[in-house]
Amino acid sequence: MMKGGKGVPAIAAIVVAVLCVASAVPRLHGAKGEGDLVKQLLNGFTATHAAGATAQFEPVLYATNGVFAFGFLRVGSASLDLAVVHLPSSFPVWRATPARPGDWSRAAKLTFDSSMVLTDPDDGVLWQTLDTIGDAVVLHNSSNLVVRRYDRDDPSWQSFDSPSDTLVLDQNFTVSTPPLISSNRRFALRLGKTYMALQMEFYGGRTTPTYWKHTALEAQPQNASEPPVYGRIDARGFFGLYLEGGGQKVDTLSFDTFVQNLTGVFRRMTLDDDGNLRAYYWTDGAKDWISDYKAIADRCELPTSCGAYGLCVPGEAQCQCLDNSTSTSPPCHAEETTDLCAASGQQLDFDGVRRKRVSVAYKEELPSETNRTAGECEQACAGNCSCWGAVFNGASGYCYLIDFPVETLVYEADDRKMGYFKVRRLASPKRTRMSPGVTAATALLSLVLVGLGAAGAYSGYRLWERRKRKRAGMEQELVPGPYKDLKSMGSSNNSFKT
């Protein structure tokens, strides 16, 4: 066993992680100095995650500047992942995100022998660098994790080619790069030939409706021979879109700090869990990331800000429910994970909700039809099991169909804007039959309760009879006399005076 010190001079405290490391890697004995940090992993490397470790992060490899480290990361309450972490902020700028996440409460092993492999003793391989042949693993000061060969300049594998939810300075984001996926797995940033788009993820990514799109201003989508665009964060404070090959810049997304000539800052762009794409920067000595850009300015334009079947009121940023099922903040209904199509091809039971003064913030990205009436718009969706709702604009005659589970709608003070939405009808709970033993016990208990009730009633009746007879005897002892007025009665304490 070996102890690895998480040393970040003048920035972070030492974090101790228990590791099992092969002799090919320099051992750390609780050292705090920068020179003692592991700077590369060689073939034969093995590190074991300590089952149920209390630390949130167990580093195994450091960048030479000591600002970034690679190791085991605890995600949520119980999941295990591999990550490159920005140590001053503890923010993971890259995660392996295996399809089957490991369990933090159990031991896991990271090995490097030409390729990196994360294994679990029960589930086998959780993640690995596929088709990789390397001699060493290094972590660059840019946060790029690289598997390299000694006789080649190009990396065999690098984390910059497989981002998770974040892009950093000088990291190319191309058409062939996997999309950025938010950490809650609900949103994605994808790059097309001439545009970048934010999309929702439904049904495991089989349905990806777009809710924000930015097309490069100087790109020519009609030119089939023009190369595709790629994106990259620039240290000067913008996200540039360039043509592959020549590097010609065709568009710029300016950050708030653009042309302010900030130096010595580290920048990142992250797809956050609310579906917004934001840029941040970090300065030496800072306590938190500083927001520098956001793709969507208004909360009501975010696709799920009020949850399933929620209605967002602009200006007030207030949430309501489409069907008025509650006056408090949503969630109004549970999130849908399947459509309304039965295996037989028929449509499952649903209730229809109709509401005026509603619209969709991203309706330009939805399939639409024109020259329809409100009734025709509703019918176009009602008979289609893959359609969840329809929004009709009486002013333009456009009908927008929602072919994914209904999320946040936007309130608009126009009676000509109408919506029709499907809500899955919950199946009536089935009455369960009791076993013969339970039935017999229930019947016996019922008989006992009836008997006790009868005995109590009889005892009450007898007591009433006795009191009745006693009261009758007392009345027979009283001798009736003539009525006398109170005024004629002589009494020393009579207060009535004539």
Tokens of 201: 């993820």
CB 360 within 8 A of CB 366: yes
Q: Residue 257: what are its φ and ψ, rounded to 5°?
A: -95, 15
Whether the predicted pLDDT of 338 surpasses 80: yes
Identify the sign of the CA torsion 163, 168, 174, 175.
positive
The predicted model scores a pTM of 0.78
From the list 187, 378, 208, the residue with the least C-alpha distance to 295 is 187
Confidence of residue 496 (pLDDT cuts 50, 70, 90): very low
Q: What is the mean pLDDT of the chain?
A: 83
Q: How far apart are the first and last CA of the chain?
A: 113
Rounded alpha-carbon distances, angstroms, from residue 85 to 56, 58, 339, 368, 454: 11, 10, 38, 44, 75
CATH number of 301-424: 3.50.4.10
Name the burial class of residue 136, with classes exposed (0-12), middle (13-18) and buried (19+) by CB atoms within 10 angstroms of its CB.
middle
The full DSSP string for 312-331 is EETTTTEEEETT---SSSSP
Whether the predicted pLDDT of 153 surpasses 80: yes
pLDDT, one tens digit per residue, over 455-487 is 666 666 566 566 655 555 544 443 444 433 333
3-state secondary structure at position 204? helix
From the list 75, 79, 59, the residue with the least C-alpha distance to 67 is 59
Parallel/antiparallel/unpaired status of strands 310-313 and 409-411: parallel
3-state secondary structure at position 470? helix
CATH class for the region spanning 163-297 = mainly beta
Give residue 441's pLDDT. 59
From the list 268, 93, 63, the residue with the least C-alpha distance to 168 is 268
Q: Where are the domains of the chain?
A: 1-157, 163-297, 301-424
More confident residue, 245 or 145: 145
3-state secondary structure at position 473? helix
CB 347 within 8 A of CB 385: yes
Share of the chain above pLDDT 70, in %: 77
Whether the predicted pLDDT of 230 surpasses 50: yes
Identify the sign of the CA torsion 238, 229, 92, 27.
negative
Give residue 219's pLDDT. 80
More confident residue, 36 or 493: 36
Give residue 435's pLDDT. 55
Tokens of 400: 């927008």
The full DSSP string for 140-180 is -TTS-EEEE-TT-SS-SEEGGGS-SSEEEBT--B-TTSPPE
Give residue 221's pLDDT. 74
Whether the predicted pLDDT of 14 surpasses 90: no
Whether the predicted pLDDT of 490 surpasses 50: no
Across 267-292, b (16+ Cβ under 10 Å) vs e yields bbbbbbebbbbbbbbbeeeeeebeeb
Can 163-297 and 301-424 be said to share one CATH topology?
Answer: no
More confident residue, 472 or 450: 450
Domain 1-157 grouped into CATH 3.40.50.720: no
Give residue 226's pLDDT. 87
Confidence of residue 22 (pLDDT cuts 50, 70, 90): very low
pLDDT, one tens digit per residue, over 400-427 is 999 999 999 999 999 999 999 999 987 6
Instruction: Name 84's bridge partners.
Output: 70, 94
From the list 430, 422, 428, the residue with the least C-alpha distance to 347 is 422
Whether the predicted pLDDT of 258 surpasses 80: yes
pLDDT, one tens digit per residue, over 30-43 is 334 556 789 999 99
Distance CA 90, CA 88 (A): 6
Mean pLDDT of 185-213: 95
